[in-house]
Amino acid sequence: MKKRKFGLALTAVLAAGTVLAACGDEEATNENESTTGEGSNAGDTFSVAMVTDVGGVDDKSFNQSAWEGIQAYGEENGLTEGDGGYAYLQSASDADYNTNINNLLRRDFDLVFGVGFMMADAMGEIANENPDSKLAIIDSEVDAPNVVSVLFKEQEGAFLAGAVAASMSESGKIGFVGGVDIPVINRFHAGYVAGAQAVNPDIEIQVQYTGAFDKADLGKTAANLMYSSGVDIIFHAAGGTGNGVFSEAKERKAKDPDANVWVIGVDADQYDEGQVDADTNVTLTSMLKGVNSAVVDISTRAKDGEFNGGETLVYGLKEGGVQLADSRGAIPEEVMAVVEDYTAKISSGEIVVPEEKPAQ
C-alpha cells in the first residue's frame, strides 16, 4: 500500500471549536435522526457517513472530532443530515462494526468512514465484498483498492505533551493513561515518554492501560492511584475512558483548591472538560489530532474525483496533523519556547520520535 504525507488546512477547523450538540443520553439506535431519516439533498451530491467505535460520537475526543469533520463537510456542501447527506451510526460493541458499515452502504452513502483501529478487520471484509464502494478508515491500514487509510504521527504531538509535563511537574512524577493496548495508543505512549525524558531524564512516568475506550470509571480509578502516589500531571489517550481522569482531577481540585493536579487532553481541545468553576480549570493543554480536518480533506478529494483508494495518508507535525492546543496561559512562556524548539527539530527531521512503547 502506498504511503503519502498530506498537509492539512487545520487552523480554521481547530479554531472553530466544538459544533457537536450533546446527545450522550440517547440510545445508539436513535441518537441521531440521520440514522433513519431522509435527507433533502439533490441526487448529484456526494454524501458521507461514518461509523463510530465503542467510545461513542460524544466522547469529547476521537469520535467526536471525526463527526465534527463530517458535519463541517456537510455544511460546506449544503447537505442535510440523513440519507443523501451526512450521517453516523454508533457502535455499542465491536460486533456492530460490520452491521453498521453495511447499513450505510445499503443506504447509498458515497463515502463511509470507519473510525478507529479496531474497525480494520470489518472494513477489510466489507471492502472485498463491495469493490465499487468508497471507504476510509482512521488510525489503521486496510490493504484494498477501495479503501483510503489515514494515520497520524501521534508520537510527535505526544512528545510535545511529554516535554510540557516534565517541564512543569513539581513532584517529578507524571502519568500516562492509555485505553486499549494497540499500536495507535502505543505511539502516544512512546512519544510522551520520549518528550518527558528529553527534558528530564530522571522523570518518573507511571503508565496504565485501562483496556477500554468507553469506561470512565476505569480512567477515574487509574487517575486516583496516580495522583495519590504524587503524580501531578496525567496525559490520557483513552477516548471516553479519559473522561474519568478529568473527573478525578476536578474532584480533587474542588476539594482542595491548592491541589497541584493537571490533565493533558487528547485528540480534541478538552479545555471545557477540565472546568472546575468559573475561575479554575485543570486542563493543562491538549494534544490535538486533526481527525476532523482529515475527514473534510478526504471527503472533498473523493467528491472532486480524487479518491485516494489503496493509499495510506499520513499526517504528522510537519503537515499540521498534530499539535498542542492553546493552554489559556497555563503554560509559561519559557516552557512554550521549549515546545517551539522541539517542534522545529521534529518537523525538520533532526529529532525522530519513536513509535514503539518502551519496555516496562
User: Is the pLDDT higher at 3 or at 153?
Assistant: 153
Residue 100 has pLDDT above 70, yes or no: yes
Residues 245, 302: one domain? no
Q: Work out the angle between the directed axes of helices 154-168 and 333-348 (0-180°, nearest 10).
A: 150
pLDDT of residue 330: 96
Instruction: Give the dihedral sign, CA 61/63/66/70.
Output: negative
pLDDT of residue 360: 67
Confidence of residue 27 (pLDDT cuts 50, 70, 90): very low
Q: Which of 53-57, 58-62, 159-163, 184-188 has the least mean pLDDT?
A: 58-62
pLDDT of residue 60: 79
Q: Which whole number is the average pLDDT over 109-115?
A: 97
Residues 303, 280: one domain? no
Confidence of residue 9 (pLDDT cuts 50, 70, 90): very low
Total domains, the chain: 2
Report if residue 63 sits inside a domain. Answer: yes
User: Is the pLDDT higher at 34 or at 279?
Assistant: 279
Q: Which whole number is the average pLDDT over 277-299?
A: 95
Residues 205, 310: one domain? no
Residues 169, 227: one domain? yes
Residues 16, 92: one domain? yes
- Report the distance separating Cα 99 and Cα 317, nearest Å: 35
Residues 193, 334: one domain? yes
Residue 98 has pLDDT above 70, yes or no: yes
Residue 70 has pLDDT above 80, yes or no: yes
Host domain of residue 177: 154-289+329-348
Residue 317 has pLDDT above 70, yes or no: yes
Three-class HEC string of the chain: CEEEECCCCHHHHHHHCCCCCCCCCCCCCCCCHHHCCECCCCCCCCCEEEECCCCCCCCCCHHHHHHHHHHHHHHHCCCCECECCEEEECCCCCCHHHHHHHHHHHCCCCEEEEECHHHHHHHHHHHHHCCCCCEEEECCCCCCCCEEEEEECHHHHHHHHHHHHHHHCCCCEEEEEECCCCHHHHHHHHHHHHHHHHHCCCCEEEEEECCCCCCHHHHHHHHHHHHHCCCCEEEEECHHHHHHHHHHHHHHHHHCCCCCCEEEEEECCCCHHHEEECCEECEEEEEEECHHHHHHHHHHHHHCCCCCCCEEEEECCCCCCEEECCCCCCCCHHHHHHHHHHHHHHHHCCCCCCCCCCCC
Report if residue 301 sits inside a domain. Answer: yes
Residues 213, 283: one domain? yes
Tell me the CATH number at 203.
Answer: 3.40.50.2300
Q: Which whole number is the average pLDDT over 84-90?
A: 97
Is 317 in contact with 153 (CB distance < 8 Å)? yes
Q: What is the pTM of this model?
A: 0.83
User: Is the pLDDT higher at 104 or at 40?
Assistant: 104
Report if residue 355 sits inside a domain. Answer: no
Residues 197, 306: one domain? no
Confidence of residue 142 (pLDDT cuts 50, 70, 90): very high
Confidence of residue 34 (pLDDT cuts 50, 70, 90): very low
- Report the distance separating Cα 62 and Cα 51, nearest Å: 12
Q: Which whole number is the average pLDDT over 327-352?
A: 96
Report if residue 320 sits inside a domain. Answer: no
Q: What percent of the chain has pLDDT over 90?
A: 83
Q: Which of 19-28, 40-49, 100-109 has the least mean pLDDT?
A: 19-28
∠ CA 92-216-25, rounded to 5° = 55
Residues 48, 146: one domain? yes
Confidence of residue 183 (pLDDT cuts 50, 70, 90): very high
Residues 297, 148: one domain? yes
Residues 130, 211: one domain? no
pLDDT digits (tens, 9 = 90+) for 230-283: 999 999 999 999 999 999 999 999 999 999 999 999 998 999 999 999 999 999
Across the chain, what does the average pLDDT equal?
90
